[in-house]
Amino acid sequence: MSKTSIRLHRGLDLQLQGGLTPESPVKVVKPATVAIIPDDFPGFTPKPSVREGDTIVKGAPLMHDKINERICLVSPTDGTVKAIVRGERRKILRIEVAAEEGQSAGRKKFSIAPDAGREEIMNAMMESGLWAMMRQRPYDIVPVPGTEPVNIFVTAFDSAPLAPSLEREVTGKGKEMAKGLETLAKLTGGKVYVSTRDDWSLALPPEVHHIIIEGPHPAGNAGVQAANIAPVNKGETIWTLDIVTAVRIGELMLYGYPEWETAVAVTGSEVKDPMTVRTVAGSSLSPVLKGNVKEDGRNHRVISGNVLTGDKESANGYLHYPYRQVTVIPEGDDVDEFMGWASMSPNKMSASRSFVSSLFKGKKFAPDARLNGGRRAMIMSEQYDKVMPMDILPEYLIKAILSRDIEQMEKLGIYEVAPEDFALCEYIDPSKLELQKIVRQGLDYVRK
Amino acid sequence: MLRKYLDKIKPNFEPGGKYQSLRSVFDGFETFLYTPRSTSQSGVHVHDSIDSKRVMIIVVAALMPCLLFGMYNTGYQNFIGSGITDLNFWHIMLYGFLAILPKIIVTYAVGLGIEFIVAQWRGEEIQEGFLVTGILVPLICPIETPVWMLAVATAFSVIFVKEVFGGTGFNIFNVALVTRAVLFFGYPAQMSGDRAFIASSPICGLGGTVEYSDAFTGATPLNQIANGADAATDAAGHILSTWDAFLGLYPGSFGETSTLCVLLGAALLLITGIASWKIMASVFAGGLFMGWIAYTFQSPIYPGSAILPIDQLVYGGFAFAAVFMATDPVTAARTGIGKYIYGFLVGVIAIIIRVYNNGYPEGAMLAVLLMNALAPLIDYCVVQANISQRMKRLRA
């Protein structure tokens, strides 16, 4: 196993209140309902594999992809299909499953020979639901079968605001992790890179390259890692996944099926007691948050995920992919702030030194969801570059996307990026542009 | 209380309301008074506290030392020129204040008026860009500029340099500098020469009538040198040392004579990170470099070449242009490397024009405008370098 260290300088760690500490409690929750939301899986066009009322076991497919029918999203629990919720033009919003104790003895077990070929492993991954947990670049979508990745990037830490430690999540699963990474090495002619922080203590198999990355967020983004190790060129494909998925691939290979238990970090300034909740993927949020949201009369924003890339949910919503974090912050639509732009308050969070708060190093903030300003044209220059540790000119790429100029987008490296890589740019932007949405539209436009 | 009042009158301004044609204006005032409650609907859930209002207001704050010094200097020059011996500080300040106030009011009224109309016409929010432009224009014009000229020039540049390109963020040329250029080329008699830079008449009983003579010409230091003087003097005929020129108590455009005050503003812009240090530093570097070349190859045909390189930086509008004009993010180069090139060339060209064109003793304005035009080309080259690096990787 080779080892490389990389230090990134550009980026930003948001200092938010309501993070986990090593002493934070752990609670186990058995949700009454779980739901799988196909919108969490870009590039996946869902067709239901079940009907309302069907009794299903853990690991049974709920939906499959319209084009590559083997790619499935599976039920993380035993139970009954409660509802197939559809939106406009009958688009599937989610499939809800009422969890019931029981029949998982009958669940499908994949028997994969130790010397199984690439094809056989990939089929098992698609049918077991693990395939959809990976992403490919270009386009940041569920990998399209049939293209061999030049490299595979496995991220073993999450650098997003208030994110939990992935190392803690996979500790004690060394055998499964090793098996999963070995399996991934069989799927590419190139290399499997595993990126960690420098205090990583678990053993990694010899097939992988260990990359130690230091520096602020977005250091944990797969795209940032790829850009600093082996950038994606036009015509190439890479796969990205997190270490938890790699462990599940190991479980599939060793035991015939992956487990869908997950540890969820419940964080944010409006959470009474930040804690880890052990539940299953797609769990409903109400039991996860039960009794743990501050009753301070403020409107709350419940985010399934972190504050940068998570999805806005109601308190009765569901956990979204990658099923590891819930953040609750004030919504802020109930605040009257007089001349906020002139504020000298030390409580205003900003990466700019034009606020008093920049004098207090290490101070933690409790920002709300307001835009803190009006939408404008790009006025300030080189703002995005400060938080973009990739060889990309973000302003120019965004402009190419807005003008729908495919050739220019290609030249400026759209194949190397995902919306999440622009999340911090969107945060610091004084013009309040919707950069992640713009990048997603650009990726979809180029793909079609 | 105020909030309740705003909420009460707000329906009148919404579509279908009594004053719906003033909607943009109402929104403008409402968002000025209260941070909008609109929350994030896509992408990130938290946003940085900074917005363009904050950016603009910091630039305005950075201009305050220059504005205050300009008031003092204006009063001082008038008092000296009219032979008043009682130099009461408050009288001087009040005179300067009264001299500049109508110009500030007129510039803002004309500029913001046009912005309000265009915003309403386009159905957009009012943008803050003119908050800075409106204070820059009076600061870079000679104090004797007639108010009507300011109004005409401001209207011209806001409409034809900014709004026709799409408003704040889309203009190619610096709006304030184009206003200055329109005045300079449109009304050369009133805008240059020796008598434009000193307020010549009493205001509200303060100050006196300036009487020009050989001993009191009112010429700016650069003008004196361009006309063959051995050394620059202040209005009263004392020879200016580098330190005097740095302090700025000599005739010149209203707010740009004091390099000290410009640097105070620069400090605020750099500490807050609002303006680009890359541009600022490279303008000064370019000016020093070209000043040094001119000084090394002195020629009696070009009296400006005898100025010490360091004096080039403290005379006239050079420092002001470096700190407040060249750094305008919309019209400057936007790429990191581009900013160094852009800034350096602004400095070099400003000194070239100043030294080798005796017709225009001040080159900073034209240098910045010329580089505004070239900035997209510089950026294009930097972007192409990034692209060709990516293409090289693809071929490798």
pLDDT digits (tens, 9 = 90+) for A181-194: 999 999 999 999 99
pTM of the model: 0.92
Nearest-Cα distance to chain A for B33, in Å, is: 5
Nearest-Cα distance to chain B for A151, in Å, is: 15
Q: Identify whether the C-beta of residue A279 lies closer than 8 Å to the C-beta of residue A294.
A: no
- Measured CA to CA, the distance from residue A73 to residue A66 in angstroms comes to 12
- Measured CA to CA, the distance from residue A48 to residue B16 in angstroms comes to 46
Joined tokens for residue B394: 């693809």
Residue of A12, A381, A409 to mutate, testing the B interface (most B Cβ within 10 Å of its Cβ): A381
Joined tokens for residue B143: 């104090």
Mean pLDDT of chain A, nearest integer: 92
3-state secondary structure of A82: strand
Confidence of residue B217 (pLDDT cuts 50, 70, 90): confident
Nearest-Cα distance to chain A for B350, in Å, is: 24
Residue of A372, A392, A405, A438 to mutate, testing the B interface (most B Cβ within 10 Å of its Cβ): A372
CB atoms within 10 A of CB A194: 26
**Which pLDDT does position B126 carry in this prediction?**
81
- pLDDT tens track for B21-32: 777 778 778 888
How many beta-carbon pairs under 8 angstroms link A with B?
Answer: 208
Chain-chain contact of B51 with A378 (C-beta, under 8 angstroms): no
Where in A118-205 does DSSP place strands (E)? 135-137, 151-155, 191-196
- pLDDT tens track for A137-150: 999 999 999 889 99
**pLDDT, mean of residues A157-180:** 94
- Measured CA to CA, the distance from residue A263 to residue A167 in angstroms comes to 12
**Which pLDDT does position B223 carry in this prediction?**
80
**What phi and psi values does residue A63 have, to the nearest 5 degrees?**
-140, 155
- pLDDT tens track for A239-268: 999 999 999 999 999 999 999 999 999 999
Give B39's contacts in chain A (Cβ within 8 Å): 301, 331-333, 368-371
**pLDDT, mean of residues A321-349:** 87
pLDDT at A312 over 70: yes
Q: Nearest residue on chain B to A357, judged by CA atoms? A: B49
- The partner residues of B198 in beta bridges, in order of sequence, read none
Chain-chain contact of B48 with A349 (C-beta, under 8 angstroms): yes
Pick from B350, B295, B356: nearest CA to B322: B350
Burial class (CB in 10 A: 0-12, 13-18, 19+), B300: exposed
**pLDDT, mean of residues A269-275:** 94
Residue of A333, A375, A380 to mutate, testing the B interface (most B Cβ within 10 Å of its Cβ): A380
Q: Identify whether the C-beta of residue A165 lies closer than 8 Å to the C-beta of residue A157.
A: yes
B7 in contact with A, Cβ within 8 Å: no
pLDDT at B44 over 90: yes
Give A423's contacts in chain B (Cβ within 8 Å): 43-44
Chain-chain contact of A427 with B48 (C-beta, under 8 angstroms): yes
Q: Nearest residue on chain A to B379, judged by CA atoms? A: A396
Q: Nearest residue on chain B to A227, judged by CA atoms? A: B390
Chain-chain contact of A370 with B393 (C-beta, under 8 angstroms): no
Q: Nearest residue on chain A to B39, judged by CA atoms? A: A370
- pLDDT tens track for B61-75: 999 999 999 999 999
Q: Alpha-carbon torsion A9, A13, A15, A21, what sign?
A: negative
- The partner residues of A300 in beta bridges, in order of sequence, read A330
- pLDDT tens track for B339-361: 999 999 999 999 999 888 877 77
Q: Which amino acid is at B346?
A: V
- The partner residues of A325 in beta bridges, in order of sequence, read A265
- For the ranges A232-246, B100-114, B187-201, the lowest mean pLDDT is seen at B187-201
- pLDDT tens track for B232-241: 777 777 888 8
Instruction: List b or e across B85-117, with b for residues whose CB sees 16 or more CB atoms inside 10 angstroms.
Output: eeeeeeebbbbbbbbbeebbebbbebbbebbbe
Nearest-Cα distance to chain A for B124, in Å, is: 10
**pLDDT, mean of residues B32-45:** 86
Pick from A317, A275, A313, A312: nearest CA to A292: A275
**pLDDT, mean of residues B204-210:** 81
**CA dihedral of B288, B294, B297, B302, whole degrees rounded to 10:** -160
Where in A305-401 does DSSP place strands (E)? 311-313, 325-330
- For the ranges A183-192, A342-351, A425-434, the lowest mean pLDDT is seen at A342-351
**Which pLDDT does position B285 carry in this prediction?**
97
Q: Identify whether the C-beta of residue A118 lies closer than 8 Å to the C-beta of residue A222.
A: no
